[in-house]
Amino acid sequence: MTTPKVLISDSMDPRAASIFRERGIHVDEITGKTPEELAAIIGEYDGLAIRSSTKVTSKILEAATNLKVVGRAGIGVDNIDIPAATARGVVVMNTPFGNSITTAEHAIALMFALARQLPEADASTQAGKWEKNRFMGVEVTGKTLGLIGAGNIGSNVASRALGLKMKVVAFDPFLTPERAIEIGVEKVELDQLLARADFITLHTPLTDQTRNILSRENIAKTKKGVRIINCARGGLIDEAALKDALDSGQVGGAALDVFESEPAKASPLFGTPNFISTPHLGASTSEAQVNVAIQVAEQMSDYLLLGGVTNALNMPSLSAEEAPRLKPYMALAERLGSLVGQLAHGSIGCLSIETEGAAAALNAKPITGAVLAGFMRVHSDSVNMVNAPVLAKERGLDVREVRHDREGDYHTLLRVSARTQAGERTVAGTLFGNSAPRLVELFGVKVEADLVGDMLYIVNEDRPGFIGRLGTLLGEANINIGTFHLGRLAAGGDAVLLLSLDEPVGPEVVRKVETLPGVRLVRPLKF
């Protein structure tokens, strides 16, 4: 085996290079290169360790003829073309947990700064004004902190807030009642949090579901004078609405470490009284930079020397022997998990993954990882088959694996069940020809369908004329139906429709479908 070579192309704590050398890997530290200069040298390296400065574009990857792994010392991978890396067989890793404490501490620091108006008081005092009566702060002791997102960072914020004698309420779709008790918070719905919180901190990824989670409408629901802190991702808050709420006094103060557009050279919020901003400093401590440097070096070394995969964003943890047989099952598992994640709303306490027939003889861990990745990716685009089990455990999700020796109607079957507040929600699928994933059961209704692309899920009364009305409505919206799948429990009862469409269905079309006679539920799906 030839000695692997790694390039560190961004400034990084020197312990990263030390770890590579200790593990017997040749490492070069060459920083500050232009894209053209990087492309000229990258071909000789097996691994590339970066932070945020290096842009791993498709052109860089085309030149990286020997590259096997890209390691990002940090969580964000916006500077890596992951689809291009995947197409070239390059593993992309990040270090999602190395800066959790640092980000949590920054959120607490901003909370104190808001409570006591520290930046404005500092500027006033240094200007020689001594405006002691102007800056009347509030105590955090006894106040209610609302967490939007109670994962790794959110739970760290909660523990610190509890130490400050605050009451903590949390909104997180994946947080179970048991996990809430364990970390000392009260699990609530978003509207409850908005109405009760004196301070709100956000700790959730930016997804279609979380974008503008603090919208103009939701900000209006908050307790008057609430103080808002965001150290997570720009785009979670409607910045124009926040500006108006600060001006009106609905929001008593806001502190943003992240902005919808970065670097934030201009913002409607700049100059607003009771507003604090920092330039994305959540992970900017010496300790955090040491942690992520150590982690990226250890992860890349394990992969290059042993084939171990940790925190990969574009591949599952699979051995070379298992991969060919398991891959079709994992594709089925991920789609079933995604289907449950998109359709089973509300608090989900338990997820059960059952295998039957030929599937029961397989290694269940990669299948479970694929189900969880599909299930949780609905809320976070950085979830994958490797880190999904960790994220599920953090949120207290009870994951159960069940093998059945029995033989059923199919030679191989995978069933995913979610226990929700509305009851058990179960989907099942099989492989046609041992390779093609196919849905065969949806919430107790027999339905055979491919789960691909854009789809529309409809529950309606089984009455004549509905299909015609639906087709006419979609036709008028210039939406073409690819395939049409219908199932029902009994004639005249509820029917379930799954339509594959040539383009996504927008909110306006969904609202129109909801107004059709007999429609009980409409959900756009994407696979």
| Three-state DSSP state, 319 | coil
HSE value, Cβ hemisphere, 13 Å, CA-based, for 2:
7
Give dist(CA 426, CA 133) in Å, integer: 61
Cα 337 from chain centroid (whole Å): 14
Spacing of C-alpha 339 from chain mean position: 16
Q: Which residues neighbour 128 within 8 Å (Cβ) at sequence distance 6 or greater?
A: none
* Catalytic annotation, pick one of 72, 233, 379, 419: 233
Q: What share of the chain is helix, strand, coil (3-state, %, to 5)?
A: 35, 25, 40
The β-bridge partners of 484 are 499
Both structure tokens of 100: 């959790």
Half-sphere exposure of 3 (CA within 13 A, CB side): 10
Of the residues 280, 335, 379, 415, only one is catalytic, namely 280
* Choice among 131, 262, 407, 461 that is catalytic: 262
Tokens representing 339?
Answer: 């289907």
Residue 183 CB: number of other CB atoms within 10 A?
19
State yes or no: is 26 an active-site residue. Answer: no
First vs last C-alpha separation in the chain? 40
- Respond yes or no: is residue 407 known to be catalytic: no
Among this protein's residues, is 469 annotated catalytic? Answer: no
Closest alpha carbon to 281 in 99, 410, 457: 99
Q: In the 8-state DSSP scheme, what is residue 410?
A: S
- Inter-residue contact 90 to 69 (CB < 8 Å): yes
**What is the DSSP code (8-state) at residue 304?**
H
SS (H, E, C) 434-499: CCEEEEEEECCEEEEECCCCEEEEEEEECCCCHHHHHHHHHHHCCCCEEEEEEEECCCCCEEEEEE
Give the separation between CA 79 and CA 52, rounded to whole angstroms.
7
For 110, other C-beta atoms within 10 Å of its C-beta total: 28
Sheet of 5-8: strands edge to edge?
26-29, 5-8, 47-50, 69-72, 91-93
133: CB partners within 8 A, 6+ apart:
none
Give catalytic residues, as residue numbers.
Answer: 233, 262, 280
